[in-house]
């Protein structure tokens, strides 16, 4: 009735410059909304009429791949943070909390994200644990995942990081892919190329967010992959990848943040920031908005999302400026949920669940931080700025009293990963270059993907103190020096998230980052960089609680040459 004009619409947005992501045009029109969906475009009457005065109206933004846990916010606080920025839907992979709590963690994310002004869709974690070269808090095999596929808002299988398992036809890995049965299966295959890439795609994996260069993205695009262009807080790939986006292939690109830090949410934004970057890099504004809306909805089978047209969900943004992506107000299912940079109040549930008390360490493992010298040459993890991949370095060891020790003058620091789920006593030791500490130590319970405790430092004593402080806080990040805790960021929810608002989390994050800078660290955010030093599926050299991992060889290796 409302679509035919035989009954008044609930709301009419009058005199909008509609960003039509279906036709690729910007058209001057009115938009009628009824029952939370778009009823029609053109001349309509409504119970409420809002005159946009020629401002732009575009679909709500969709993040094609994000780990909410990496924002350090619970889903309700995340929604409060991103809805004013124009994000109305996200596709999450909860493998961070799943690696800590398994099914309980996934259920927590599903329950805590109900009835929010941001629609939260879930891709089921495919790699819990990511590999057998680390200790996670839980294991999810294909039998554990199968019943979860029937839950509301679950779309498919998340990033398949174990690409060696795919290539080797590991039965359990292939069983997880087969579970999708026509649903999307996301990829994670940094640097994979040629016949191996063809085999990986042929197994049923249809997207990738790990491209770091235009040539890599083009090869994957030509072989049928949907490219999720990533610009996160650590991995920043958008500037390189958008150089291959053109009119003929633009439908096969989406935008993803993957991991977004709370300070960056405040200072830069979310998907609105990526759209703005793409436009400034030469992508036409309508094309950039398509990459943040209809492309993603179409790829993931989200019918009725991603456009402003009859029958589509009325998730809409009013923009003051198209190229700057200045979000004035946000509508979710036809209801105003944010304006002037602030979310309107909403109620959120607080689901019961075992999400606290997840930091359990064997304190005696901290008596084994010393590294006996077994040679004169060390394998060292080399940090590459703005990337999650690392270098594999071999350097002369600094040896004192028969022990290999940190050498801050050469920026070679001891690195430790301590198992924190089962108090097993596992501890992996190594060295890293690129952190820059001159004294003290840093530690965090966020260490992708198994999220054991990771610590880096100049002295064993400060490293030990940092780890003990994390255990006392039930997780988080900490900076210490000379036996004193300088700053801390508590993350008691699974050792990954705070239960506090964005501003408080960002403030604590700034303080620990500033404390690290005071100790000599020059990384923009050392804790995010550290968190990826334990990820044994991203080249080249990483450290887990079981030891040093040569990712290219996909095996544990000795520390000394």
Instruction: Judge if 198 and 295 occupy the same domain.
Output: yes
Cβ neighbours for 372, distance < 8 A, ≥ 6 positions apart: 402, 403, 404
| Residue at a domain's end among 305, 337, 371 | 305
Instruction: Judge if 255 and 135 occupy the same domain.
Output: yes
Give per-residue pLDDT as tens, 288-299.
999 999 999 999
Give per-residue pLDDT as tens, 412-427.
999 999 999 999 999 9
| 221 within domain boundaries | yes
| 323 within domain boundaries | no
Asked if 450 and 135 touch (Cβ cutoff 8 Å), the reply is yes
Total number of domains constituting the chain: 2
Alpha helices in 230-324 (DSSP H): 238-241, 262-267, 271-280, 285-291, 294-299
Instruction: Judge if 273 and 373 occupy the same domain.
Output: no
425's tokens? 């006593």
| Residue at a domain's end among 288, 305, 322 | 305
| Residue at a domain's end among 272, 305, 338 | 305
Write out the residue range of the structural domain in which residue 179 sits.
60-305
**Helix, strand, or coil (residue 330):** strand
pLDDT tens series, the chain, 561 aa: 889 988 999 999 999 999 999 999 999 999 999 999 999 999 999 999 999 999 999 999 999 999 999 999 999 999 999 999 999 999 999 999 999 999 999 999 999 999 999 999 999 999 999 888 999 999 999 999 999 999 999 999 999 988 889 999 999 999 999 999 999 999 999 899 999 999 999 999 999 999 999 999 999 999 999 999 999 987 889 999 999 999 999 999 999 999 999 999 999 999 999 999 999 999 999 999 999 999 999 999 999 999 999 999 999 999 999 999 999 999 999 999 999 999 999 988 766 566 888 999 999 999 999 999 999 999 999 999 878 889 999 999 999 999 999 999 999 999 999 999 999 999 999 999 999 999 999 999 999 989 999 999 999 999 999 999 999 999 999 999 999 999 999 999 999 999 899 999 999 999 999 999 999 998 988 998 999 999 998 889 999 999 999 999 989 999 998
By CB neighbour count within 10 A (0-12 exposed, 13-18 middle, 19+ buried), where does 558 fall? exposed
Residue 65: CATH number of its domain: 3.20.20.140
Instruction: Judge if 431 and 289 occupy the same domain.
Output: no
What does the pLDDT read at residue 63?
98
**Helix, strand, or coil (residue 295):** helix
**Helix, strand, or coil (residue 524):** coil
What does the pLDDT read at residue 130?
82
| 192 within domain boundaries | yes
Instruction: Judge if 397 and 296 occupy the same domain.
Output: no
| 533 within domain boundaries | yes
| 358 within domain boundaries | no
Beta strands in 419-481 (DSSP E): 427-433, 441-444, 453-457, 476-481
What does the pLDDT read at residue 352?
59
Instruction: Judge if 258 and 394 occupy the same domain.
Output: no
| 338 within domain boundaries | no
Instruction: Judge if 296 and 371 occupy the same domain.
Output: no
Instruction: Judge if 298 and 401 occupy the same domain.
Output: no
- The sign one gets for the Cα dihedral 168, 170, 173, 176 is positive
Instruction: Judge if 367 and 228 occupy the same domain.
Output: no
What does the pLDDT read at residue 436?
96
By CB neighbour count within 10 A (0-12 exposed, 13-18 middle, 19+ buried), where does 1 fall? exposed
**C-alpha–C-alpha distance, residues 249 and 256, integer Å:** 18
Instruction: Judge if 290 and 414 occupy the same domain.
Output: no
| 331 within domain boundaries | no
| 357 within domain boundaries | no
């Amino acid at each position: 009735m409302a679509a035919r004009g035989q009954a008044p619409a609930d709301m009419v947005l009058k005199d909008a410059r509609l960003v039509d992501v279906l036709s690729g045009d910007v058209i001057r029109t009115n938009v009628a909304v009824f029952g939370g969906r778009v009823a029609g475009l053109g001349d309509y009457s409504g119970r409420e009429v809002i005159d946009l005065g020629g401002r732009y109206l575009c679909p709500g933004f969709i993040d094609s791949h994000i780990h909410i846990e990496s924002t350090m916010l619970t889903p309700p606080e995340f929604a409060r943070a991103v809805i004013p920025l124009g994000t109305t839907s996200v596709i999450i992979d909860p493998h961070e909390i799943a690696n800590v709590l398994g099914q309980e963690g996934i259920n927590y994310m599903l329950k805590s994200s109900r009835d929010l002004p941001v629609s939260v869709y879930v891709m089921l974690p495919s790699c819990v644990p990511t590999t057998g070269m680390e200790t996670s808090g839980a294991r999810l095999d294909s039998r554990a995942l199968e019943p979860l596929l029937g839950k509301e808002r679950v779309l498919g299988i998340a990033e398949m990081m174990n690409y060696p398992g795919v290539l080797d036809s590991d039965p359990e890995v292939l069983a997880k892919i087969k579970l999708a049965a026509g649903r999307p299966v996301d990829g994670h295959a940094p640097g994979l190329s040629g016949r191996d890439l063809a085999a990986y795609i042929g197994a049923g994996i249809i997207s990738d967010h790990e491209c770091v260069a235009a040539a890599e993205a083009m090869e994957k695009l030509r072989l049928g992959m949907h490219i999720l262009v990533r610009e996160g807080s650590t991995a920043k790939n958008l500037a390189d990848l958008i150089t291959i986006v053109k009119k003929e292939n633009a439908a096969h690109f989406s935008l993803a943040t993957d991991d977004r830090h709370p300070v960056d949410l405040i200072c830069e934004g979310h998907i609105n920031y990526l759209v703005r970057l793409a436009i400034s890099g030469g992508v036409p504004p309508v094309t950039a908005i398509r990459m943040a809306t209809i492309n993603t909805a179409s790829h993931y089978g989200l019918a009725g999302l991603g456009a402003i047209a009859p029958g589509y969900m009325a998730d809409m943004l009013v923009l003051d400026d198209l190229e700057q992506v200045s979000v004035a107000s946000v509508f979710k299912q036809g209801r105003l949920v944010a304006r002037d940079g602030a979310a309107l109040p909403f109620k959120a549930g607080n689901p019961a669940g075992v999400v606290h008390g997840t930091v359990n360490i064997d304190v005696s493992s901290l008596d084994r931080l010393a590294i006996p010298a077994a040679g004169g040459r060390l394998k060292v993890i080399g940090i590459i700025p703005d990337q999650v991949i690392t270098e594999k370095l071999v350097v002369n060891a600094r040896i004192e009293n028969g022990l290999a020790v940190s050498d801050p003058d050469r920026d070679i620091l001891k690195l430790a990963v301590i198992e924190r789920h089962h108090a097993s006593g596992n501890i992996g030791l190594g060295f890293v270059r690129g952190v820059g500490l001159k004294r003290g130590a840093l530690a965090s319970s966020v260490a992708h993907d198994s999220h054991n405790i990771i610590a880096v430092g100049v002295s064993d004593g400060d490293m030990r103190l940092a780890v003990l402080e994390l255990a006392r806080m039930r997780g988080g990040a900490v900076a210490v020096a000379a036996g004193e805790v300088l700053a801390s960021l508590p993350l008691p929810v699974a050792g990954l998230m705070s239960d506090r608002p964005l501003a408080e989390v960002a403030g604590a994050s700034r303080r620990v980052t500033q404390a690290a800078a005071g100790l000599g660290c020059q990384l923009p955010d050392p804790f995010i960089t550290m968190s990826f030093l334990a990820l044994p599926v991203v080249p080249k050299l990483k450290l887990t609680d079981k030891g040093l991992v040569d990712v290219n060889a996909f095996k544990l290796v000795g520390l000394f040459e």
